[in-house]
Amino acid sequence: MPAVQETVEQVRAIDIDQYKYGFSTDIEMELAPKGLSEDIVRYISARKNEPAWMLEWRLDAYRRWLTMREPDWARVDYPQIDFQDMYYYAAPKSNAAPKSLDEIDPAILETYKKLGIPLREQEILAGVAPENRIAVDAVFDSVSVVTTFKEELKKSGVIFSSISEALHEHPELVKKYIGSVVPTTDNYYATLNAAVFSDGSFVYIPPGVRCPMELSTYFRINEQKTGQFERTLIIADKGSYVSYLEGCTAPMRDENQLHAAVVELIAHDDAEIKYSTVQNWYPGDSQGKGGIYNFVTKRGDCRGARSKISWTQVETGSAITWKYPSCILRGDDSQGEFYSIAVSNGAQQVDSGTKMIHLGKNTRSRIISKGISAGRSQNTYRGLVSAHRRATNAKNFTNCDSLLIGNACGAHTVPYIESKTASAVFEHEATTSKVSEDQMFYCMQRGLTQEEAIALIVNGFVKDVLQQLPMEFMVEAQKLIAISLEGSVG
Amino acid sequence: MSLLEIKNLTAKLADEDKQILNGLNLTVEKGQVAAIMGPNGSGKSTLSYVLAGREDYEVTDGEALLDGENILELSPDERAAKGLFLAFQYPIEIPGVGQMTFLKAAVNAQRRKNGLDDMPTPEFMKLVNGRAKELGISPDMLRRSVNVGFSGGEKKRNEILQMALLQPKLAILDETDSGLDIDALKIVADGVNAMRSPDRGFVVITHYQRLLDYIKPDVVHVLSAGRIIKTGGPDLALELEAKGYADIVGKAA
Ligand SMILES: Nc1ncnc2c1ncn2[C@@H]1O[C@H](COP(=O)(O)OP(=O)(O)O)[C@@H](O)[C@H]1O
Ligand SMILES: [Mg+2]
């Protein structure tokens, strides 16, 4: 995702009711019949020509899902979802199996261009220095439409493709790892995802390889009444390194749309995965009409010794966010990190946080969470830090800060700590503060407008986390946060 | 035309029925330093807030003209860009926002409002470092968050630094001397004196003659119960210092 600076500039003047990426693309789609059943699961699997074991895996999950109940412990409130009233598969018709960019529907290329994501490699190459190149997997509704720089990545042995493609080209890798971090039985939405996931990205970094460029997936929901269920699987083999970024947007619609994704990360001995998200799904209007339900399960397994997984998220979109990117610190001396900025405005509801599960010896984790609530929104940090009996000398540091803008919003912190070893050291700090009228007036007396003052104060608040993002995205995330908070005061 | 002309200014707390300014009249000429003295609670800070556009107060009557233009309908940032600066009695802390970031945001926000381009960073750095040095502000202070962990005196010097960078037409200093030791007081006074010029005006709110020994006022006004009750030359300040407010306030009442 290159700088979308210019377009971002253009929306600086708009308020929360005018979401920037709210346009939709008129394109002929192939839809599965509405609703959910075993037949639909079979349909999806057949559309993708999946091997028999994959279909069995899906059906297993589906049958399990039928016995499960929707979780209700999160601090979010929404009407019952009718799982029979949506489509589980939507793919551009013209796009059955594009081999190259030339075969892709121009309307789709145009869509991504409008979103600031050029997909033509020549166009990307023209404007960007080699070290700043980013390979993109573009997922449009249920399918991956293209993955760029694949050939170049292949030279260093890196596999970057859609998960559908990986199922055909590297079935042994997919079979070995899928569901090994988030099992099909994990939770209601993850189990649903296992049954109906349609596409997503697959990454494999071979031993000792430092991935030569930033990888990213850009998710776009376009079709109405369609759920998006993507599944991402990233494996960093021994001693390898990869930095990956995920972005997402959706059209403005009055209806709520469900996005239930699963992301699994596996880091072997001495490997490192840095996973960043800039989540900007349509948040609904200021009255709470429409918007994406973002119910996502993300988990990383530090499987090897001295491995490291780092989650960084900037969450500004979605009507409801329910997500807890977590780390299982299995390998001795492994490290997990979670850096989060969650912004809520209007009627948005966020319940997000992390789990750091210390299983190995000398494992370390670090949690820095910055929640910003404005409007009438509710913003909850929910976190678990636990140490197993074996996890001697486990260390965690948690810092959880909330910033309130105005009087009608809420911030909540729900930290759980469990330790079964006496040698574990867990530190927890939490603060809640308000953007005060004094601060606003002080800034404005110096010449800043109300919006500039909010942006300045908020950027100061989130600085520690922003610095964790890849350079190219820092400025963009900063602007995104400012835009999300427009109309939050006055 | 006077730099500042306040006519019959009447203001109350926005969400309470408490009137604080009661038909206040005051004129400040270009090039003038006007001292305002008065008992605690007489409305000195309120006057400075109302002029700067703080929302806690509601103007119920009167007007305030800056260079002939009524500013009372403008937002605080617009007033700032028109050249009004307030050195706060209690400067505000902004955690996480670096001093340099803040100063640059302020300078450029005002430049943009006045149709100028942003100041190039090297030029800005040079300017800040130069002024900071004059005011005895250490590079370390410039690296910290705005006013966070500053001593009382450091906060006040920081206000003067901002004034020096923003080059206002009218600067209101609200008890900038309180909390300053004598050395810091001299530094602040030097900073103000260096900025005195034929087209700039100052309103210096203070309790003490001490500051006025260093910043020589052209006129001294006495504010009591929300009105200017007496105006005189520099000697008036000495008289107040000697006799206290009771006498003069009593006479006016
Ligand atoms: N925001 C406010 N809320 C309540 N009372 C206020 C407020 N601002 C000023 N006042 C009251 O108005 C009067 C004048 O205050 P102030 O302008 O601070 O006086 P001074 O600066 O001359 O000491 C005092 O009685 C003070 O308590
Ligand atoms: Mg005062």
Helix (H, G, I), strand (E, B) or coil at B60: strand
Query: Which residue did the predictor score with more confidence, A25 or A440?
Result: A440
Q: Is the pLDDT of residue A167 over 50?
A: yes
> Could you give the CA distance from residue B240 to residue B101 in angstroms, rounded to a whole number?
42
Q: In the structure encoding, which two tokens stand for residue B129, read together? A: 């470092």
Q: Is the pLDDT of residue A2 over 50?
A: no
Yes or no, beta carbons of A460 and B95 under 8 Å apart: yes
How far from each other are the two terminal CA atoms of chain B, in whole angstroms? 32
**Strand B84-87 to B94-98 pairing:** unpaired
Query: pLDDT-derived band of residue A20, with 50, 70 and 90 as boundaries?
Result: low
If you average pLDDT over each of A94-98, A155-159, A475-479, which comes out highest?
A155-159
Query: Which residue did the predictor score with more confidence, A178 or A96?
Result: A178
| Mutation for testing the A interface, residue in B100, B102, B144 having most A CBs under 10 Å | B102
Which chain B residues touch A439 with a CB distance below 8 Å? 92, 94
Ligand 1 centroid to Cα of residue B6, in Å, is 19
Count the neighbouring beta carbons within 10 Å of the beta carbon of residue A373: 27
pLDDT at A135: 78
> Could you give the CA distance from residue A163 to residue A199 in angstroms, rounded to a whole number?
6
Domain residue ranges of chain A, discontinuous segments joined by +: 5-484
CB pairs under 8 A between A and B: 84
CB-based contacts of B54: which residues, under 8 Å, 6+ apart?
A441, B76
Query: pLDDT-derived band of residue A95, with 50, 70 and 90 as boundaries?
Result: low
Which chain B residues touch A432 with a CB distance below 8 Å? none
Instruction: Give 3-state DSSP helix, strand, coil % of chain B, rounded to 5.
Output: 40, 30, 30
Query: pLDDT-derived band of residue A438, with 50, 70 and 90 as boundaries?
Result: very high
pLDDT at B92: 96
Yes or no, beta carbons of A444 and B102 under 8 Å apart: no
> Could you give the CA distance from residue B123 to residue B158 in angstroms, rounded to a whole number?
20
Residue B129's identity, in one-letter code, is N
| Mutation for testing the A interface, residue in B116, B118, B146 having most A CBs under 10 Å | B146
Q: Does B118 touch chain A (CB under 8 A)?
A: no
Burial of residue A266 (CB within 10 Å: 0-12, 13-18, 19+) is: buried
Ligand 2 centroid to Cα of residue B109, in Å, is 28
> Could you give the CA distance from residue B63 to residue B60 in angstroms, rounded to a whole number?
10
Query: pLDDT-derived band of residue A43, with 50, 70 and 90 as boundaries?
Result: very high
Q: In the structure encoding, which two tokens stand for residue A401, read together? A: 């800060």
* pLDDT tens digits along B35-50: 999 999 999 999 999 9
Q: Is the pLDDT of residue A252 over 80?
A: no
Which residue's alpha carbon is nearest to atom 6 within ligand 1? B13
Yes or no, beta carbons of B96 and A461 under 8 Å apart: yes
CA B108 to chain A, closest CA, distance in angstroms equals 9
Query: pLDDT-derived band of residue A1, with 50, 70 and 90 as boundaries?
Result: very low
Q: Which residue of B has its CA nearest to A449?
A: B77
Query: pLDDT-derived band of residue A14, with 50, 70 and 90 as boundaries?
Result: very low
> Could you give the CA distance from residue A307 to residue B220 in angstroms, rounded to a whole number?
71
Query: pLDDT-derived band of residue A483, with 50, 70 and 90 as boundaries?
Result: confident
Query: Which residue did the predictor score with more confidence, A127 or B123?
Result: B123
* pLDDT tens digits along B153-180: 899 999 999 999 999 999 999 999 888 8
> Could you give the CA distance from residue A327 to residue A339 in angstroms, rounded to a whole number?
12
The pLDDT mean for chain A works out to 86
Q: In the structure encoding, which two tokens stand for residue B205, read together? A: 């709110």
Question: C-alpha distances in angstroms, A283 versus A257, A287, A411, B189, B240?
Answer: 11, 11, 18, 53, 62
pLDDT at A96: 53
For the ranges A461-470, B8-17, B183-192, B214-223, which has the lowest average pLDDT? A461-470
Q: Ligand 1 pocket by C-beta < 6 Å: which residues?
A: B 13, 20, 38, 40-46, 56
Beta strands in chain B (DSSP E): 4-13, 19-28, 33-37, 57-66, 69-70, 84-87, 94-98, 145-146, 170-174, 201-205, 219-224, 227-232
Three-state SS annotation for chain A:
CCCCHHHHHHCCCCCCCCCCCCCCCCCCEEECCCCCCHHHHHHHHHHCCCCHHHHHHHHHHHHHHHCCCCCCCCCCCCCCCCCCCCECCEEEHHHCCCCCHHHCCHHHHHHHHHCCCCCCHHHHHHHCCHHHCEEEEEEECCEEEEECCHHHHHHCCCEEEEHHHHHHHCHHHHHHHCCCCCCCCCCHHHHHHHHHCCECEEEEECCCCECCCEEEEEEECCCCCECECEEEEEEECCCCEEEEEEEEECCCCCCEEEECCEEEEEECCCCEEEEEEEECCCCCCCCCCCEEEEEEEEEEEECCCCCEEEEEEEECCCCEEEECCEEEECCCCCEEEEEEEEEECCCCEEEEEEEEEECCCCCEEEEEEEEEECCCCEEEEEEEEEECCCCCCCEEEEEEEEEECCCCCEEEEEEEEEECCCCCEEEEEEEEEECCHHHHHHHHHCCCCHHHHHHHHHHHHHHHHHCCCCHHHHHHHHHHHHHHCCCCCC
Burial of residue B102 (CB within 10 Å: 0-12, 13-18, 19+) is: buried
In ligand 1, the atom with minimum distance to the C-alpha of B48 is 17
Residue labelled with tokens 């997500």:
A323
> Do residues A257 and A228 lie in contact, with contact meaning Cβ atoms separated by under 8 Å?
yes
Interfacial A residues in 374-433 facing B (CB < 8 Å): 433
Helix (H, G, I), strand (E, B) or coil at B175: coil
Ligand 1 centroid to Cα of residue A49, in Å, is 76
> Could you give the CA distance from residue B63 to residue B5 in angstroms, rounded to a whole number?
8
Give the angle subtended at the CA of B7 by the CAs of B1 and B12, to the nearest 5°: 140
Which chain B residues touch A436 with a CB distance below 8 Å? 92
Ligand 2 centroid to Cα of residue B56, in Å, is 15
> Do residues B95 and A461 lie in contact, with contact meaning Cβ atoms separated by under 8 Å?
yes
Q: Does A275 touch chain B (CB under 8 A)?
A: no
Query: Between helices A52-66 and A38-47, what is the axis angle to 10°?
Result: 150
ipTM over 0.90: yes
> Do residues B237 and B209 lie in contact, with contact meaning Cβ atoms separated by under 8 Å?
yes
CB-based contacts of A453: which residues, under 8 Å, 6+ apart?
A439, A440, A443, A444
> Could you give the CA distance from residue A486 to residue A18 in angstroms, rounded to a whole number?
10
> In this prediction, what percent of chain A has a pLDDT beyond 70?
89
Q: Is the pLDDT of residue A116 over 50?
A: yes
The pLDDT mean for chain B works out to 93
How far is C-alpha B86 from the geometric centre of its chain's CA atoms? 4
> Do residues A328 and A301 lie in contact, with contact meaning Cβ atoms separated by under 8 Å?
yes
Q: In the structure encoding, which two tokens stand for residue B139, read together? A: 């590079």
Of A144, A147, A160, A283, the C-alpha closest to A211 is A160
Helix (H, G, I), strand (E, B) or coil at B184: helix
For residues A254-266, average pLDDT: 90
Burial of residue B17 (CB within 10 Å: 0-12, 13-18, 19+) is: exposed
Q: Is the pLDDT of residue A243 over 90?
A: yes
Q: Does A438 touch chain B (CB under 8 A)?
A: yes
Q: Is the pLDDT of residue B108 over 90?
A: yes
Query: pLDDT-derived band of residue A3, with 50, 70 and 90 as boundaries?
Result: very low
Q: Does A490 touch chain B (CB under 8 A)?
A: no
Residue labelled with tokens 């021994």:
A238
Residue labelled with tokens 């002080």:
A442
CB-based contacts of A194: which residues, under 8 Å, 6+ apart?
A57, A58, A61, A65, A179, A184, A231, A262
For residues A427-446, average pLDDT: 93
Q: Which residue of B has its CA nearest to A457?
A: B97
> Do residues A251 and A24 lie in contact, with contact meaning Cβ atoms separated by under 8 Å?
yes
pLDDT at A100: 65
Yes or no, beta carbons of B106 and A447 under 8 Å apart: yes
In ligand 1, the atom with minimum distance to the C-alpha of B42 is 22
Yes or no, beta carbons of A446 and B95 under 8 Å apart: no
Yes or no, beta carbons of B77 and A448 under 8 Å apart: yes
CA A452 to chain B, closest CA, distance in angstroms equals 9
Which residue's alpha carbon is nearest to atom 16 within ligand 1? B43
Domain residue ranges of chain B, discontinuous segments joined by +: 4-91+168-183+193-252
> Could you give the CA distance from residue A418 to residue A421 in angstroms, rounded to a whole number?
9
Element (H, E) at B39: none
> In this prediction, what percent of chain A has a pLDDT beyond 90?
51
Q: Is the pLDDT of residue A369 over 90?
A: yes
Q: Is the pLDDT of residue A117 over 80?
A: no
> Could you give the CA distance from residue B51 to residue B9 in angstroms, rounded to a whole number?
10
Interfacial A residues in 34-63 facing B (CB < 8 Å): none
Helix (H, G, I), strand (E, B) or coil at B42: coil
Which residue's alpha carbon is nearest to atom 5 within ligand 1? B13
Q: Is the pLDDT of residue A166 over 60?
A: yes
pLDDT at A18: 53
Which residue's alpha carbon is nearest to atom 18 within ligand 1? B45
B4-91+168-183+193-252 is classed in which CATH architecture?
3-Layer(aba) Sandwich (3.40)
Residue A365's identity, in one-letter code, is S
Which residue's alpha carbon is nearest to atom 8 within ligand 1? B46
* pLDDT tens digits along A175-218: 999 999 999 999 999 999 999 998 889 999 999 999 988 888 88
For residues A409-415, average pLDDT: 91
Ligand 2 centroid to Cα of residue B95, in Å, is 24
Q: Which residues of B213-229 are buried (b: 16+ CB within 10 A; e: fewer)?
A: ebbebebbbbbbbbbbb
DSSP conformation class of B20:
E
Our mutation pick for probing the ligand 1 site, out of B46, B178, B206, B208, counting the most ligand atoms within 8 A of Cβ, is B46
pLDDT at A4: 33
Which chain A residues touch B102 with a CB distance below 8 Å? 443, 446, 456
Query: Which residue did the predictor score with more confidence, B210 or A17?
Result: B210
pTM (predicted TM-score): 0.84
pLDDT at A16: 40
pLDDT at A198: 87
* pLDDT tens digits along A58-73: 999 999 999 999 888 8
CA B76 to chain A, closest CA, distance in angstroms equals 5
Yes or no, beta carbons of B106 and A439 under 8 Å apart: no
For the ranges A84-98, A99-113, A473-487, B203-217, which has the lowest average pLDDT? A99-113
> Could you give the CA distance from residue A170 to residue A383 in angstroms, rounded to a whole number?
36
pLDDT at A415: 92
